[in-house]
Amino acid sequence: MKSESKVTVLGAGLMGHGIAQVASTSGFEVSLLDVKQEFVDKGMAMVKNSLGKFVAKGRLDQAGADAVLKRIHPTTDLGRALAGAGLVIEAATENPELKLDLYRRISDLADPETVIASNTSSISITLLASATSSPEKVCGMHFFNPPQLMPLVEITRGNRTSDSTLDSVRAAAKRMGKETVTCLKDSPGFIVNRILVPALNEAVFLVQEGVATPEDVDKAVKLGLNWPMGPLQLLDYVGLDTTFNITQVFMQEFQDSKYRPSPLLREMVRAGKYGRKSGRGFYRWDSPDSTKSESK
């Protein structure tokens, strides 16, 4: 029997661990799953580190942090993770085939009434739902990085998503302290990334063409457009590989060359320069000075 007080997060990486922390902080019991124990352990370590920062800044006391950690139950067993969950939030790698396989397995193991929400930033919700036996129970629930701090959740309706599913996810997001917007149709990139990704890609073109250094591109956008973070630093946070994958989805879905990724972006991804998570991107993240560009 599913429980409205349990949330399962599939994926303990950059987004998944943060979503798990947010859900637990809001009082949900949380199962946090990944495919290998080392990934789960790394995710839990990131949760502990994040909670430590909240305690240090006085936003949470130690007892509260300990309680948040206690409500998160790490596992590598999908069946155990799904047992009793009222809401499953999928935060797996942004790869359509991988996600479709996962949704087939979820459909076989989860309670038929369980709501399945994808944190995908670009992949069709309708496509993901097609891999399940209850497509009306599937929708998008896109958090922003880092989930612990960013207030927005994009909720996306798939072709067969029911109103009750959307209402359930809105209620869960509200309980997590988030503001929501609703994508009325299943369009690639939804609202934010439809606007953001072309802008990030254009920033990479500026560096590739030698128009400006990464530092000056970021400074120009921060001071000229009032962004809190420059586009190339943001790319490093989001992940160059994730952004590249989104451009591929856009190219396929829209059949429009304006979404073509910069050759420099492609080259950096091939070189394993994914940004903060790999230690190298447009900036050096394995150094105390993360404002120093990779080119220097």
8 Å CB contact between 100 and 20: no
Catalytic residues: 121, 142, 154, 193
Give me the residue label for tokens 């497509």.
Answer: 135
What single DSSP character describes residue 211? S
8 Å CB contact between 42 and 84: no
Closest to 75 in 3D by CA, of 65, 85, 61: 85
Sequence-distant (6+) residues with CB within 8 A of 255 are: none
Closest to 153 in 3D by CA, of 119, 123, 122: 119
Structure tokens at 276: 């903060």
Specify burial of residue 192 (Cβ count, 10 A radius: 0-12, 13-18, 19+): middle
Closest to 241 in 3D by CA, of 95, 77, 136: 95
Give me the residue label for tokens 């972006």.
Answer: 265
Task: Give 166-181 as a DSSP string.
Answer: HHHHHHHHHHTT-EEE
Peptide bond into 146 cis (omega under 30): yes
Per DSSP, helices labelled H in the chain are 16-25, 37-56, 62-70, 78-82, 96-109, 125-129, 163-175, 192-208, 214-225, 231-238, 240-254, 263-270
Sequence-distant (6+) residues with CB within 8 A of 172 are: 7, 87, 141
